Amino acid sequence: MGRGRRAPRNPRRRRGGPAESPARGRTPCGPVQVTPLRSPSLRTLSRWLLLGEWRAHPVRALTAIAAIAIGVALGFAIHLINAAAFNEFSAAVQSLSGQADVQVSGAEPLFDEAIYSRLAERPEVAVASPVLEINASLPGGQEPLKIVGLDVFRVGYITPDLIGAPASGEPGDTLASDALFLSPAAQQWLQTKPGARIEFMTGTETLALRVAGSLQRARVGQRLGVMDIGAAQWRFGRLGKLSRVDIKLRDGVDRNAFQATLARELARDYPGRLRVGQPNDADQESRTSNMSRAYRVNLSVLALVALFTGAFLVFSTQALSVMRRRSQFALLRVLGFERRHLLRQVLLEGAALGVTGALLGIAGGYGIAAAALRFFGGDLGAGYFAGVQPQVQFTPVAAIVYFSLGIGVALLGCATPAWEAARAAPAVALKSGADEVALGRLSRPWPAIACLVLAGVLSQLPPVTELPVFGYLSIALMLVGGIALMPRIAALAFRFAHARWTATTAHRTEIPAVPTLTLARLANASGQAGIALGGVLSSFSLMVAMAIMVASFRVSVDNWILQVLPADLYARIASAGGTAGLTPREQAAIRGAPGIARAEFLRLRSVSLAPDRPNVALLARDIDPAHPEKSMVPVGEQVAQSQDRLPRAWVSEAMADLYRIAPGETLRLPLAGTAVPFFVAGVWRDYARVSGAVMIERADYVRLTGDADVSDAALWLAKDVSTADATDALKRLPFGATLGIEAPSAIRALSLRIFDRSFAVTYLLEAIAIVIGLFGVAATFSAQTLARAREFGMLRHIGVTRGQILGILAFEGGALTALGIATGFVLGWAISLILVHVVNPQSFHWTMQMHYPWPLLGAVAVALLVASMLTALVSGRQALSGGPIRAVREDW
- Give pLDDT, residue 439: 55
pLDDT at residue 667, as a whole number: 94
Provide the pLDDT for residue 220: 77
As a whole number, mean pLDDT of residues 461-490 equals 87
Q: What is the pLDDT of residue 124?
A: 94
Q: At 617, which helix (H) or strand (E)?
A: strand 616-621
Q: How confident is the model at residue 487 (pLDDT cuts 50, 70, 90)?
A: confident
Q: Do the bridges between strand 648-652 and strand 596-607 make them parallel or antiparallel, or are there none, so unpaired? A: unpaired
Calculate ∠ Cα 668-671-674, nearest 5°: 70
pLDDT on residue 783? 64
Phi/psi for 506 (5° steps) reads: -65, -35
Mean pLDDT of 645-670: 93
Q: Residue 11: what pLDDT? A: 43
Give the pLDDT confidence of 679-716 residue by residue, as tens digits. 999 999 998 888 899 999 999 999 999 999 998 999 99
Q: Are 827 and 833 in contact (CB under 8 A)?
A: no
- How confident is residue 831, by pLDDT bands cut at 50, 70 and 90? very high
Which of 860, 861, 871 lies closest to 778 in space, CA to CA? 871
Buried b (16+ CB within 10 A) or exposed e, 259-294: beebbeebeeebeebbbbbbbebeebebbbbbbbbb
Return d(Cα 460, Cα 190) in angstroms, integer. Answer: 51
Mean pLDDT computed over every residue of the chain: 82
DSSP 411: H
pLDDT at 412 (0 to 100) = 81
Identify the weakest region by mean pLDDT among 12-21, 34-43, 140-149.
Answer: 12-21
The predicted pLDDT at position 601 comes to: 95
Confidence category of residue 445, pLDDT binned at 50, 70, 90: confident
Q: How far apart are CA 588 and CA 233, in angstroms?
A: 28
pLDDT for the residue 282: 45
**Cα–Cα nearest to 391, from 74, 94, 81, 79:** 81
Neighbours of 166 (CB within 10 A): 18
Paired residues of 740 in beta bridges: 572
pLDDT of residue 800: 84
| 129-136 average pLDDT score | 94
More confident: 502 or 16: 502
CA distance 740 to 750: 14
* Interatomic CA distance for residues 740 and 556, integer angstroms: 27
User: Is the distance from CB of 770 to CB of 856 less than 8 angstroms?
Assistant: no
The 10 Å Cβ neighbour count of residue 328 is 14
CA distance 452 to 458: 10
279-290 confidence digits (pLDDT tens): 765 445 455 555
Q: Are 131 and 248 in contact (CB under 8 A)?
A: no
The neighbouring-strand residues paired with 166 are: 213
Higher-pLDDT residue of 563 and 292 is 563
pLDDT of residue 885: 54
Q: How far apart are CA 131 and CA 155, in angstroms?
A: 9
For the ranges 278-282, 458-462, 575-579, the lowest mean pLDDT is seen at 278-282
Tell me how far CA of residue 731 lies from CA of 202, 735, 736, in angstroms.
19, 8, 4
Does an H or E element contain 422, and which? Answer: helix 396-423
Asked if residue 12 has pLDDT above 90, the reply is no
Q: pLDDT band at residue 169, thresholds of 50, 70 and 90? A: confident
* Residue with the larger pLDDT of the pair 877 and 837: 837
Cα angle 728-732-734, degrees, rounded to a multiple of 5: 150
Q: Count Cα neighbours of 295 within 13 Å in the Cβ-side half-sphere.
A: 25
* CA separation, residue 596 to residues 568, 590, 592 (Å): 10, 8, 7
Q: Tell me, what's the pLDDT at 709?
A: 93
Burial class of residue 169 (count of CB atoms within 10 Å of its CB; 0-12, 13-18, 19+): exposed
Q: For residue 587, give every residue at least 6 positions away whose Cβ sits within 8 Å of its Cβ, in sequence order, or none.
A: 599, 601, 710, 713
Compute the average pLDDT of residues 523-531: 68
- pLDDT tens sequence across 766-807: 677 667 666 666 666 666 676 677 777 788 878 888 888 888
| Single-letter amino acid, residue 662 | A
Q: Are 795 and 416 in contact (CB under 8 A)?
A: no
**Choice between 396 and 506, residue whose per-residue pLDDT is larger:** 396
With beta carbons less than 8 A apart as the criterion, state whether 72 and 361 touch: yes
Instruction: Report pLDDT for 517.
Output: 86
Q: Got the DSSP string for 205-224?
A: EEEEEEEEEE-TTSPTT---
- Residues 8-13: what's their mean pLDDT? 43
Measure the CA–CA gap between 407 and 405, rounded to whole angstroms. Answer: 5
Angle between helices 760-787 and 802-834 in degrees, nearest 10: 150
CA 234/CA 238 separation, integer angstroms: 6
pLDDT for res 309: 66
At 133, which helix (H) or strand (E)?
strand 125-136
Instruction: Look at residue 649 in the predicted model and tell me its pLDDT.
Output: 95
Query: Contacts for 751-759 with beta carbons within 8 Å, 24 or more apart?
Result: 751/557, 751/561, 752/554, 752/557, 752/558, 752/561, 755/553, 755/554, 755/557, 756/554, 757/381, 758/380, 758/381, 758/382, 758/383, 759/381, 759/550, 759/553, 759/554
Pairing of strands 197-202, 241-242: unpaired
Sequence length of the chain is 892
Which one is predicted more confidently, 415 or 270?
A: 270
User: For position 636, what pLDDT does the model report?
Assistant: 86
For the stretch 367-415, pLDDT in tens is 988 887 877 665 555 555 555 567 788 889 989 988 998 898 888 878 7
pLDDT score recorded for residue 491: 84
The pLDDT of residue 1 is 39
Give the per-residue SS3 of 29-81. CCCCCCCCCCHHHHHHHHHHHHHHHHHHCHHHHHHHHHHHHHHHHHHHHHHHH
pLDDT for 592 equals: 94
Q: What is the pLDDT of residue 7?
A: 43
* HSE-up (13 A, CA, CB side) for residue 890: 14
Q: Answer whether residue 37 shows pLDDT above 60.
A: no
d(CA 865, CA 162): 63
Most confident of 26-35, 73-82, 341-350, 823-832: 823-832
Q: Is 476 exposed, middle or buried, given 0-12, 13-18 or 19+ CB atoms closer than 10 A?
A: middle
* Domain locations along the chain: 50-95+293-438, 98-279, 441-566+744-892, 569-742
Residue 712 φ then ψ, to 5°: -140, 155
- The string of pLDDT tens digits covering residues 605-654 is 999 998 878 889 999 999 987 888 888 999 988 888 876 789 999 999 99
Radius of gyration from C-alpha coordinates of the chain: 35
DSSP state of 334: H
CA dihedral in degrees (339, 340, 344, 345; nearest 10)?
-30
**Amino acid in position 397:** V
- Are residues 864 and 544 in contact, defined by beta-carbon separation less than 8 angstroms? no
Quick check: 321 and 643 in contact, CB under 8 A?
no
More confident residue, 202 or 11: 202
Higher-confidence residue of 676 and 388: namely: 676
